[in-house]
Amino acid sequence: MQHWGFNVLRFLVTWEAIEHAGPGQYDGAYLDYLAAVVERAADYGLYVFIDPHQDVWSRMTGGDGAPGWTLEAVGFQIANLDASEAAITLRARYPEIPSLLWTDNYSRLACNTLFSLFWAGAGWPRTWKSRANRCRTTCRGTSSAQCSRWPNA
């Protein structure tokens, strides 16, 4: 690489690789491997840019990045993401197709929900719940059957 004039490596690291087993459960072996790669690169005079990478939130939503438990933590059932079209992975429906245009999942429910919760923080769910309660109150005045779809709103 130095012969070609390169002196920096971009090393993609996903959250799932580091904390796949659950919140606060770090993969020490992976972190040791990562440290060894950085040290080895330094031996060759290379700098390493560690890219905390993600696309479309998670591997479970057709991309890479966050671990599956993040989806489960907010109520998504990973096994049902494709069937419900919260994320189109096509694996279940078309196993002979190796991939799809993964960027389409940026506009799907699972990815957008997790991005909203992650970036908006604790304030967004409170606001959403308040609006959901107003909606529920309004619905009760018109049709209690509609509200039964969201009993916890």
Tell me which of 148 and 4 has the higher pLDDT: 4
The pLDDT confidence band at residue 58, using thresholds 50, 70 and 90, is: very high
* pLDDT(87) > 70: yes
What type of residue is 65?
Answer: G
- Find out whether 49 and 41 touch, Cβ atoms under 8 Å: no
Pairing of strands 47-52, 8-13: parallel
Q: Who's near 122: CB < 8 A, 6+ residues apart?
A: none
| Mutual angle of helices 123-142 and 109-120, in 10-degree steps | 130
The pLDDT confidence band at residue 143, using thresholds 50, 70 and 90, is: very low
Length of the chain: 153
| pTM of the predicted model as reported, rounded to 2 decimal places | 0.74
Sign of CA dihedral 87, 92, 94, 97: positive
Q: What does the pLDDT read at residue 92?
A: 66
